[in-house]
Amino acid sequence: MSNVVANQKIHTEYGGVVPELASRAHQQNIVPVVQQALQRANIVKKDLSAIAFTKGPGLMGSLLVGTSFAKSLAQALQIPLIGVNHMQAHILAHFIDDKTHKLPQFPFLCLTISGGHTEIVKVKDYFQMEVLGKTLDDAVGEAYDKSAKILGLGYPGGPLIDQHAKKGNPLAYKFTKPKVGTLDFSFSGLKTGILYFIQKEVKQNSNFVAENLNDICASIQHTIVSILMEKLQNAVRETGITQVAIAGGVSANSEIRKRLKESEKTMGWITYIPKFEFTTDNAAMIGIVGYYKFLEQSFDANTTTATARLKVDE
């Protein structure tokens, strides 16, 4: 009924997420954001049947703000409390039914790509998920953000690289792809490769980055998205499941969205690409998990706590 997201300007100002500043921003925003959400939905607090909140994974300070607020609100209103796993929420965002898209059928594969996670998940049911492969080091969002930092672009770097990449030649520069298990990922070597490449070129031409920004971004994006697509192909081959979804902040990326869509024709997959507003962190994805947990009467006790490390199947 409403999906209010507070701005993340504080991260842009500091070129990344400073945990203490993030949690203070949450504290300042949480009351006005909840009030705005109620207003836009045209309801009042007593119309609510439960309070869903993000239990983890994430930064402890920020999680504590949400958890404490949700517990207090549920207790004051005498309604159930529903703890939500952030990674499950990214995946289940596909079930937000606004009648504009088809909903996935179980089982399906989901490439979950965000600032902290990179996983291929076999989704057997709403709350039955199995991780088939994951990153051994950096997440793909981190690879984007760190590459952007090397290039002197702002934060978050993913959308900025994506913008420049659209105007560049994806084959201008070649970066080495990691050699890891068929369903696993590794992005820290790529980041180092990009850093050394830029340092070497800048030594010869101090304007190298400015003069070739679009081509550099397009080449980085092409390398990253090719890795993601190869791993998805491996997962389809190993499981025989041809229903493929993407989720998480990086699923906003124009190239992964395009390549996945093309796979419908080239490989016969059935693909699910989330609406743009349900890719990066948002409230609706927590709401939809709350809805399915409410149907199962799966509630949390008021003694529940935030969990910084929570796996997608927990």
Contacts of 150 (CB under 8 A, 6+ apart): 191, 194, 195, 198
Q: Are 180 and 136 in contact (CB under 8 A)?
A: yes
Pairing of strands 243-247, 128-134: unpaired
The entry of ligand KG4, Zn ion, none near residue 108 (CB within 5 to 8 angstroms by kind) is none
Element (H, E) at 270: strand 270-272
Give the nearest distance from C-beta 281 to ligand KG4 in angstroms.
4
Nearest to Zn ion of 255, 281 (CB atom):
281
Compute the C-alpha angle 245/140/174, nearest 5°.
110
String of contacts with Zn ion for each residue 128-157, x by CB under 5 A: ------------------------------
Q: Say how far apart CA 302 and CA 86 lie, in whole Å.
A: 19
Region near Zn ion per CB under 5 A, out of 20-28, 74-82, 113-121, 160-168 = 113-121
Region near Zn ion per CB under 5 A, out of 17-25, 33-41, 107-115, 300-308 = 107-115
Torsion angle defined by CA atoms of residues 89, 137, 23 and 18, in that order, rounded to the nearest 10 degrees: -140
The entry of ligand KG4, Zn ion, none near residue 156 (CB within 5 to 8 angstroms by kind) is ligand KG4
Report the residue from 54, 112, 114, 282 that binds Zn ion according to the rule CB under 5 A: 114
Residues that bind ligand KG4 (CB under 6 A): 114-116, 141, 144-145, 156-159, 162, 248-250, 252-253, 280-281
The entry of ligand KG4, Zn ion, none near residue 116 (CB within 5 to 8 angstroms by kind) is ligand KG4
